[in-house]
């Protein structure tokens, strides 16, 4: 199993994903500012992993506080603000800081700072472990849904699945969300081949998803992002499954830039297109996708390819990291609680009351 992040004896350890697959470098830090930088720079990335890393980053920050208890509230609120400022789109980050704040609110008055630090560490581990379990459940629900939707094809042959970005262990703590569904479907003999879109500009599909699939021995082929419609036209894709960074109450979904184009193409070709994500990725406070804050990243990510300049430094660039796929283009949203199909308005809301 790939060890994307871990936390032991007050040290946060992460695999620097910017260097994969060519170098596997693990970095250790006890400094929350370095952990925040790791999130910002995409050394750690992927919505559930960002959430779990945010929990551990808060623990690092709390552990390094050396002042008197009276000074802690102001320090803690600045720490939370700094962690929350690292990346805007993946709501899992805010899910994690909210959990850490709840531990603070419930225990600050009664506990010593040492007791509070221990409870926060437990909470951060819980966020991580819950995401590991979520992945297994998402995979089971996803496979059941795919078996239902693709039953006719499965009578004669296995399926070819398109995915985008990286939603595996590197992004999720456990076996992955969309990639977890693919892993289980392959284990059950449903998959012929995975088609992984490169995911420009940082190539999470080409570098990371391909690396995870190769590691597992799952047959795959990498394509440029713009190829998916043509492959669909040629009958080379049967369905798509991707992850999400934030899902609104109506089922609109922010995910890595390029996802929307795949979903439009899938809809045009009558192919099912699914989102696989934990409930921690659903932002039920937002009505629709236009309200999701979309991260715009540094222009040089586009003007250069891994340090090599490919456009003039003055080329104007618009580098949105995510796009929004309308819920109407989705066949279903697969969560750890169930696969929501049909009305997202009621289906997603029910997840918050369901045990």
Interface with ligand MRU in residues 32-91 (CB under 6 A):
42, 45-48, 90
**Residues in contact with ligand MRU, shown as a per-residue x/- string from 229 to 258 under the rule CB under 6 A:** --------------xxx---------xx--
121/204 with CB nearer ligand MRU:
204
Task: Kindly state the smallest distance separating residue 295's Cβ from ligand MRU, in Å.
Answer: 8
The H or E element that residue 251 is part of is none
* Binding-site residues for substrate: 45-47, 87, 204, 255-256
83/321 with CB nearer ligand MRU:
321
ω into 343 cis (within 30 of 0): no
* Binding-site residues: 45-47, 87, 204, 255-256
121/176 with CB nearer ligand MRU:
176
Q: Which of 162, 321, 330, 334 forms a contact with ligand MRU (CB under 6 A)?
A: 321
210 burial (CB, 10 Å; 0-12 / 13-18 / 19+) is buried
To the nearest 10°, the Cα dihedral for 254, 204, 96, 179?
A: 80
- Which position has the token pair 């997202």? 344
| Catalytic residue list contains 245 | yes
Which segment (144-152, 171-179, 219-227, 334-342) binds ligand MRU by CB under 6 A?
A: 171-179
ω into 235 cis (within 30 of 0): no
SS3 49: helix
The H or E element that residue 29 is part of is strand 26-29
Q: Which of 138, 161, 165, 181 forms a contact with ligand MRU (CB under 6 A)?
A: 165
Distances in whole angstroms, Cα of residue 192 to Cα of each of 93, 154, 175, 221:
35, 11, 19, 11
Q: Phi-psi category of 173—alpha, beta or left, where left has phi over 0 and alpha has psi -120 to 50?
A: left
- Work out whether strand 220-223 and strand 191-197 pair parallel, antiparallel, or are unpaired: parallel
Distances in whole angstroms, Cα of residue 39 to Cα of each of 48, 51, 116, 197:
12, 10, 24, 23
209 binds ligand MRU per the rule CB under 6 A: no
Q: Which of 53, 134, 145, 167 forms a contact with ligand MRU (CB under 6 A)?
A: 167
Q: Which of 59, 79, 171, 340 forms a contact with ligand MRU (CB under 6 A)?
A: 171
- Give the integer Cα–Cα distance in Å for 260 and 53: 27
44/271 with CB nearer ligand MRU:
44
17/121 with CB nearer ligand MRU:
17
Task: Kindly state the smallest distance separating residue 134's Cβ from ligand MRU, in Å.
Answer: 10
213 burial (CB, 10 Å; 0-12 / 13-18 / 19+) is buried
Task: Kindly state the smallest distance separating residue 82's Cβ from ligand MRU, in Å.
Answer: 19
- Give the integer Cα–Cα distance in Å for 184 and 323: 27
Q: Cα Rg for the chain, rounded, in angstroms? A: 20
Of the residues 130, 225, 238, 245, only one is catalytic, namely 245
Interface with ligand MRU in residues 85-144 (CB under 6 A):
90
Interface with ligand MRU in residues 258-317 (CB under 6 A):
none
61/243 with CB nearer ligand MRU:
243
- Give the integer Cα–Cα distance in Å for 155 and 286: 41
The residue at minimum Cβ distance from ligand MRU is 243
42/116 with CB nearer ligand MRU:
42
Q: Which of 121, 169, 177, 248 forms a contact with ligand MRU (CB under 6 A)?
A: 177
Number of residues that bind ligand MRU (CB under 6 A): 18
Task: Kindly state the smallest distance separating residue 118's Cβ from ligand MRU, in Å.
Answer: 30
198, 205 Cβ separation under 8 angstroms: yes
Beta-bridge partner residues of 324: 254
Which residues contact ligand MRU (rule: CB under 6 A)?
A: 42, 45-48, 90, 165, 167, 171-172, 177, 204, 243-245, 255-256, 321
- Active site residues per annotation: 245
């Amino acid at each position: 199993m790939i060890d994307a992040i871990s936390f032991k004896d007050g040290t946060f350890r992460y695999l620097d994903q910017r260097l994969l697959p060519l170098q596997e470098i693990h970095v250790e830090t006890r400094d929350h500012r370095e952990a925040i930088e790791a999130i910002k720079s995409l050394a750690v990335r992927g919505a559930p992993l960002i959430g779990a890393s945010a929990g551990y980053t808060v623990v690092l920050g709390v552990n390094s506080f050396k002042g008197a208890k009276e000074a802690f509230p102001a320090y803690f609120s600045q720490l939370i603000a700094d962690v929350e400022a690292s990346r805007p789109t993946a709501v899992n980050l805010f899910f994690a800081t909210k959990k850490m704040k709840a531990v603070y609110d419930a225990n600050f008055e009664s506990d010593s700072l040492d007791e509070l630090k221990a409870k926060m560490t437990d909470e951060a581990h819980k966020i991580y472990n819950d995401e590991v379990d979520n992945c297994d459940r998402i995979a089971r629900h996803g496979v059941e849904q795919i078996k239902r939707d693709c039953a006719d094809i499965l009578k004669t042959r296995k399926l070819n699945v398109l995915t985008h970005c990286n939603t595996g262990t590197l992004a999720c703590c456990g076996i992955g969300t969309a990639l977890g569904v693919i892993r289980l479907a392959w284990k059950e003999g449903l998959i012929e081949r995975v088609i992984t879109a490169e995911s420009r500009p940082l190539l999470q599909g080409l570098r990371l998803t391909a690396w995870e699939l190769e590691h597992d021995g799952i047959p795959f082929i990498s394509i440029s992002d713009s190829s998916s419609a043509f492959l669909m036209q040629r009958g080379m894709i049967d369905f798509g499954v991707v992850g999400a960074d934030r899902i609104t109450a109506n089922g609109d979904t922010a995910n890595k830039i390029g996802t929307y184009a795949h979903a439009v193409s899938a809809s045009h070709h009558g192919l099912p297109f699914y989102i696989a994500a934990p409930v921690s990725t659903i932002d039920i406070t937002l009505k629709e996708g236009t309200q999701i804050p979309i991260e715009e990243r540094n222009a040089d990510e586009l003007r250069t390819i891994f340090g090599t300049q490919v456009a003039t430094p003055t080329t104007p660039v618009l580098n949105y990291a995510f796009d929004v796929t309308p819920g109407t283009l989705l066949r279903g949203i697969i969560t750890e609680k169930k696969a929501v199909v049909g009305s997202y308005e009621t289906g997603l809301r029910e997840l918050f009351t369901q045990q």
